[in-house]
Structure 1
Amino acid sequence: MQNVSNQVENKGNAFALLPIGVFLVLFLGSGIVIGDFYKMPALTAFVIAAGVAFMTNPKESLDTKMEIFCKSAGDSNILIMLVIFLLAGAFGSVAKAMGGVDSTVNLSLSVLPPNLLVPGLFLVVCFISTSMGTSVGTISALTPIALGISQKTGMQLELLVAIIVGGAMVGDNLSMISDTTIAAASTQGCELKDKVKMNFLVVLPAALVSLIIISIMSSGYGVTSAEAGSYEIIKVVPYVTVLVGALLGANVFVLLAGGILFAGAIGILTNAIDIWGFIGAVSEGMAGMQELCILVLIVGGVIGLIKYNGGIDFILNFITSRIKTATGAKFGIALLASVIDLCTANNTITIITAGPLAKDIGEKYNLDPRKIASMLDMFASCWQGMIPYGAQVLTAVGIAGVSSVGIIKYLHYPMLLLIFAIISITIDFSFLKKGKRAS
């Protein structure tokens, strides 16, 4: 397929962006009108947007458009992303089925000193979300604990729920098996571990300041003990193995495949599951990723048509005509990710949608792909952790029975991440050894 520059003039074609506009109107507009931002599934909205994409540029034949759509959807980076998504889903499902989630949560709570229960809770959430690679899954598992602590200590439940959400978003940025990490690194063609290293330099200060604030706000409460359920150390090992292996730079395919087999073997040996339960958990985990995988394919095809028709060139020209430096380009990428997440309320969709645009901007201004991947994840995640209609906040308040708007003022980590992410735009991280591009 020819490059965009061979299809259109450098100024591009604004009309080619219509499919994205249709998606945003359908997804965001339906939420505003109905009051439920999840009534319109993202997949359905993008399928309709794909239909609009096929109707643009009427001079091209349908066969040509289908070829462009299929080649873009079948890009090697997208296919690699899909395989990782499926493996990550299978690992999470098997680990949960054999009791790994419950054991990890209960072990973490049992080792916390009573006087450090609340700040320790934040650290536990950070660890678990980093290990599990899912913020929503972490919130679902730990929000009931916030309820129990509130009942025992009299601490404001909204604050404790916000601590759970904030800690979950830390792991969303740092986990090697998080779909946002996978999507950000894949769209920019960099290694997962290199993107995580970049994130760590910004996430750590934000998390530390959050921890200090939490410690101050929770001091003076009569925290004496925490009820922790039973746990088996051996069932925690698969999470720790994947986490350590990821930090050591193990191949993500080998790491996740090995984690699936390891978790399954432990489950069978401890009689938590049998061989059929293992197979069923693998299938269930992969099935849970099917909608996301289909969405990624459709988004890839739509972006390919938009790019072919000159939409990408138009955005690049619109942004680059207003910026003169590499720093300005970074701010442009940050704004792009922020606006899309506020509109879609889904940080994974944001990264998948903004990723190709950010990559083109990065190539124009010779930006480090690791930096771009890190920025995409941070700016999408910080807003995702604050908006009252996002999946993370809605999951937490749904379990706790509090108002989503009521916890916003306690969401210290997402707010601090936004501040530190903006500061990091002007910082040169070239002292970090550049990793090789993902193959």
Structure 2
Amino acid sequence: MNPMSDGPALTFRGGWTMAFVPVAIFLAFCVLYFVVLDAFDMTALATGGFLALLVGALLARGYSRYWDAVMSGIGSPTSVSIVVVLLIVGMLAQLIKDSDVSGGFVWIAELAGLSGSLLTLFTFLTCCVVAMATGSSIGTMFTAFPIFYPAGVLLGADPTLLAGAIVSGAIFGDNLAPISDTTIISASTQRFRRRDGAADIGGVVTSRARYALVAAALCALGYLMLGGAGGSGPVDEALLAESANPLGLVMLAPMAVMVLVAFFSRDIFKAVTVGLVLGTATALATGLLEPSGVIGVSDGAPTGYLVAGVSALLPTVCLVIAVFGIMGVLRAGGVLDRIVDGLARGRLAGTPRGAETAIGLGISATTVLFGGVNSASMLTFGPVADEIGARQGLHPYRRTNVMDCFAMGVSCVVPVFSAFLFIGALLTDGHESAPALSTTQLFGAAWYPLCLTVVMIVAVATGWGRTFEGPDGQLVRRREAAAEPAAA
């Protein structure tokens, strides 16, 4: 639908700009919880989204048409696929958390006698692996900070850089993990134009690795060179012994198989099934989990990682539903078409490089407005990026990677808005042996998102990794061999 021809299917009292009222209310909830109250809660964010929908309905001309638009957005193939995938991967992420993979890395650090800058580097790499295995940046931070931060400072690591290494590793894993909600969302919002379907997760992760690994390598070098500050004080042997568990390392084997299946089959459902079967068998065989840790009942309440994994993702699913409802309103009101037309007809998005620049700037601004919550920002901006990039023939993989990597860049760690930094600062507090840090201190030490932004600016400017959509959705390097730019 083009708003300049047939007109929008949904109109509002006060003009089409009133369609932004639900967005404004939703953003107000982001600022309230993440900036004012310092509380990271996806359920509260989803609540803001549903409240925004209720208020927006009062401004629409045609109450029933408004809710038809909401249901159309929620019931879109992209929305439904994201919901299903999130609930399934939630079980796998919970399995990894419950089987104590991080304890295995603490055991390695203790056994190898790592300290100072080597420990900072080791912590960064460990958090990268754990976040990739779980697909959860926030979960990795909550797991890693209590274990690595106080012990690492006692072992001579610079407190600020050690905390930054934890945040950086968590964001890297979230950026590259095939089971990450951000990976799933970014891929699912970018559709093919020469065949059915959206970007497959395996292909997206494979093509994204070049950017993520370069940024990670730069971070690793920096943490190795500067991560030791000659900390003083006795080593807390009791803390290290309590946290160390070498048996947790065996869970890396089924996770490696799962990642390989995801890469080669490019089928996330098949990969998760393999990961669940092998992971459960491994955890039970090694005693990391009891049968009740898989599924069971205690005092009338369900237990086990299967139930806990689904429950943990329900707030995110609610957020997805609310955001896609808002997107349905914006689409029916012609707002998305206006934004896309305005950007696509402008000089900036008139070339492939310009379209990528517009996507990078747009998702960065949206992520800052959403308090660094890149899953919500990509849900909101994804359809816009899809149209802008498709008009220049960019392959869905390329559109996905530009959007995701900029959302995981500097925009998600702006000190006064970032949920990542608020949580990181919170988790550095309360340790007798290590100082509490501010969000500003963490910003200067969380190098991965900073390096990733630089890498992506270079990639956009030079065309490194740029691909176009050819016949049947094939990757082609030259635009002349690709499909003609898709119409809106």
State the TM-score, normalizing by the size of structure 1.
0.88
For residues 8 and 317 of structure 1, what CA distance do their matches in structure 2 show? 14
* Counterpart Cα distance in 2 of 1:404 and 1:221: 23
Q: Deviations over 1:173-199 (max 9, x none)?
A: 111011100000001120112222332
Partner Cα separation in structure 1 for residue 319 and residue 209 of structure 2: 29
Deviation track 1:67-117 (CA, whole Å, cap 9, x = no partner) reads: 3322221112221111111111111212333x2424543355367573733
1:203 Cα deviation from its structure 2 partner: 1.8
SS of 1:426's equivalent?
helix
RMSD of aligned residue pairs (Cα, Å): 3.0
- Distance in 1 between residues matched to 2:161 and 2:453, nearest whole Å: 19
> Which stretch has the larger CA shift, 120-129 or 166-175?
120-129
Alignment of 1:382-393 (within 5 A): 382=409, 383-387=411-415, 389-393=417-421
Cα distance change of structure 1 residues 420 and 79 upon mapping to structure 2, 3 Å threshold: same
Partner residue of 1:186 out of 180, 185, 188: 188
The code of the aligned residue for 2:227 comes to S
**Number of paired residues?**
430
Q: Alpha-carbon deviations, 1:282-306, whole Å to 9, x = none?
A: 0111011111112212211221121
Moved more, 337-346 or 356-365: 356-365
Which residue does 1:367 correspond to in 2? Answer: 394
Separation in 1, partners of 2:72, 2:459: 36
State the AA in 1 paired with 2:415: I
Query: 1:47-86 residue pairs with structure 2 within 5 A?
Result: 47-58=50-61, 61-86=62-87
Deviation, structure 1 residue 31: 5.3
Q: Does 1:422 align with 2:449?
A: no
Q: In 2, distance between residues paired with 1:199 and 1:5?
A: 37
**Contact 2:251 / 2:279 at 8 angstroms: preserved in 1?**
yes
Q: Which structure's relative contact order is higher, taking Cα pairs within 8 Å and 6+ residues apart?
A: 1
Question: 1:388–1:408: 8 Å Cα contact kept in structure 2?
Answer: no
Distance change >3 Å, CA 288–CA 431, structure 1 → 2 = closer
Kindly indicate whether the alpha-carbon contact (under 8 Å) linking 1:130 and 1:174 is maintained by their aligned counterparts in 2. Answer: yes
CA distance in 1, matches of 2:102, 2:352: 46
Greater alpha carbon shift after TM alignment, 163-172 vs 222-231: 222-231
Question: Which amino acid is 2:420 matched to?
Answer: Q
SS of match in other structure, 1:367: coil
Structure 2 unaligned runs (5+)? 9-14, 191-197, 296-303, 430-435, 475-488
Q: Within 1, Cα distance between the matches of 2:423 and 2:283? A: 28
- Does the aligned pair in 1 maintain the 2:135–2:180 contact within 8 Å? yes
Is the 1:131–1:242 contact (alpha carbons within 8 Å) kept by the matching residues of 2? no
- Could you list the runs of 5+ residues in structure 1 that have no partner in the other structure? none
Matched, 1:195 2:204: yes
Q: How does 1:148-187 map to 2 (within 5 A)?
A: 148-153=151-156, 155-187=157-189
Cα 1:29–1:320 change in 2 (3 A) is farther
CA distance in 2, matches of 1:432, 1:131: 30
Letter in 2 for 1:230: N
Pair 387,435 (structure 1): closer, same or farther in 2 beyond 3 Å: farther
- Aligned 8 A contact 1:4 1:307 in 2: no
**Alpha-carbon displacement from aligned partner over 1:134-159 (angstroms, at most 9, x marks no partner):** 11122222223132121121x33111
Residue 276 of structure 2 is matched in structure 1 by 260
244-253 or 370-379, which deviates more: 244-253
Distance 2:85 2:183 in 1: 11
Counterparts of residues 85-124 of structure 1 (less than 5 Å):
85-97=86-98, 99-106=99-106, 109=109, 114=114, 116-124=118-126
Q: Deviations over 1:343-395 (max 9, x none)?
A: 11201101111111111212223222111111221111112245354333233
* CA distance 1:399–1:30, change in 2 (3 Å): closer
- Decide whether aligned partners of structure 1 residues 49 and 431 sit closer, same or farther in structure 2, where only a CA change above 3 A counts: closer
Pick closer, same or farther for the CA change 1:109–1:137 going to 2, 3 Å.
farther
Give the Å deviation of 1:396: 2.5
CA contact (8 A) 1:165 1:385 kept: no
Call closer, same or farther: CA 1:28–1:89 in 2, change over 3 Å: same
Deviations 1:313-353 (A, max 9, x none): 22123323432323222211111111111111201101111
1:290-309 matches, within 5 Å, as 290-309=314-333
What residue number does 1:397 align with? 425
- Corresponding residue to 2:223 among 208, 214, 217: 214
TM-score of the pair, normalised by structure 2: 0.79
Contact kept, 8 Å, 2:394 with 2:468, in 1: the verdict is no
